[in-house]
Amino acid sequence: MHILRQAVLAVLLIALSGCSYFFGDEGQFREKSLDYQEAKSIEPLRVPDGVQTKPTKQRYPIPNVVANDAFIPKDSGSVPRPRTLANLDQDAGLELRKDDQLYWLIAERDSAELWPQLVEFVESNSFVVDVNNPEAGILETDWLKPRLLENDRGVWKSFKRLFTGAGSQELRDKFRIQVTSGKRAEGNIISINHVRNKLPLPEQVEWPVIPDDPDLVHIVYEEMMEFLSDDARRQGTSVLSQDLKSVPKYTMTRDGNDYPVLVINLDFNHAWLEVGQALALSKIAVKDLNRSLGIYYLARTVMVKDEDGDEAAKELQLRVIRSESGIQVAVQLDDDTIAPKVESTQILNALREKLQ
């Protein structure tokens, strides 16, 4: 036993000395990360007197920046952000871009082809063209006067409120479409401006830097994109001109899981306005809405069981969804969960009665 202890002690001593031999300060594989602290400065290379040197040129010289139309950032915080792509139709060569509250539409087509299409877009909406100057690329509508339809409801009532605020007949709206040539290979840039004035109307129009109603202008941009595409031009529908007195078709159906679905045969813009009007007439309170996602957040809850079997109150959402068969309206709890059939049927039937 004593011999075994001596052997183990000898092995440990050899191992310790071996670690020092390999990894110590003087070892074969020592740590060199701090060697720079002991580095010594070396005198720069000097050319002896009487020897001429050949001047060297910078391989990658920095050019002098001339103050012209180019943007020169003052610091890293002033570098412009990339412009947001709001919508894209690659087949039609259309790009809707956004910068803060300003939108502009890029059309990859010749001016000779684009200008008649824009005039057709305005005239098909039953607007009177006030200024038509293709040389300057300016197209202006006349002042829009709301119609007095006392018995009309639904889309036109929402449309009139959209144009005149609280329904006042003292307001008038005017649009200006301007086409400019884009830089490089961007095609033509279409800009839409909007001004709203009270009666009496001014003789000289002062166009604002930012449209008076950016949301309304955004709708016009979206409708213009649909119109400029071949399919939308054949349909000839627009949120600005569709026959508002025509009675659309509303169909109650069920999906593959036997849940109720309301199908509306209208474009999304009209369907969204119709559903919002039907909710108000049905006295179904709305807490919030998100048009880009097509969601009305209802002020109603339903008791559902969670994964543990406990009941909890969940808020209902009314989803307005684009589909090949039309606009589908369904009641859901979230993106992946359909609301119970009883509540869904009750809400959709109430909407259908007001939509008729």
Higher pLDDT residue, 269 or 13?
A: 269
Which of 235, 260, 279 delimits the end of a domain? 235
The answer on 288 and 219 residing in a single domain is: no
Q: What percent of the chain has pLDDT over 70?
A: 74
What CA dihedral angle connects 344, 287, 87 and 270, to 10 degrees? 60
Report whether pLDDT(72) > 80: no
Report which DSSP code applies to 77.
G
Tell me if 301 is assigned to some domain.
Answer: yes
Give the residue numbers spanning the domain of 328: 250-355
Report which DSSP code applies to 219.
H
- Beta carbons of 197 and 171 less than 8 angstroms apart: yes
Q: Are strands 286-290 and 102-107 parallel, antiparallel or unpaired?
A: unpaired
The answer on 258 and 223 residing in a single domain is: no
The answer on 189 and 96 residing in a single domain is: yes
The answer on 179 and 309 residing in a single domain is: no
Which of 207, 235, 263 delimits the end of a domain? 235
The answer on 304 and 223 residing in a single domain is: no
The total number of residues written for the chain in this structure: 356
The answer on 230 and 126 residing in a single domain is: yes
d(CA 326, CA 222): 18
The answer on 218 and 114 residing in a single domain is: yes
* Strongest mean pLDDT among 41-45, 78-82, 115-119, 226-230: 115-119
Tell me if 55 is assigned to some domain.
Answer: no
Report which DSSP code applies to 126.
T
Domain containing residue 216: CATH number: 3.30.530.50
d(CA 224, CA 36): 67
Instruction: Give the pLDDT confidence score for residue 193 in this predicted structure.
Output: 92
How many other CB atoms are found less than 10 A from the CB of residue 160? 18
The answer on 257 and 203 residing in a single domain is: no
Higher pLDDT residue, 202 or 10?
A: 202
- The per-residue pLDDT for range 110-162, each reduced to its tens digit, is 888 889 888 888 877 667 888 899 888 999 988 876 544 334 444 434 444 45
> How many structural domains does the chain have?
2
The answer on 224 and 145 residing in a single domain is: yes
Tell me if 10 is assigned to some domain.
Answer: no
Categorize the per-residue pLDDT at 64 as very low, low, confident or very high, splitting at 50, 70 and 90: confident
The answer on 211 and 329 residing in a single domain is: no
**34-39: long-range contacts (C-beta < 8 A, 24 or more apart)?**
none
The answer on 298 and 220 residing in a single domain is: no
The answer on 226 and 99 residing in a single domain is: yes
Tell me if 30 is assigned to some domain.
Answer: no
Tell me if 51 is assigned to some domain.
Answer: no
- Of 62-66, 89-93, 220-224, least confident by mean pLDDT is 62-66
Q: Is the pTM of this model over 0.75?
A: no
What CA dihedral angle connects 340, 345, 347 and 352, to 10 degrees? 150
As a whole number of Å, the CA-based R_g of the chain is 35
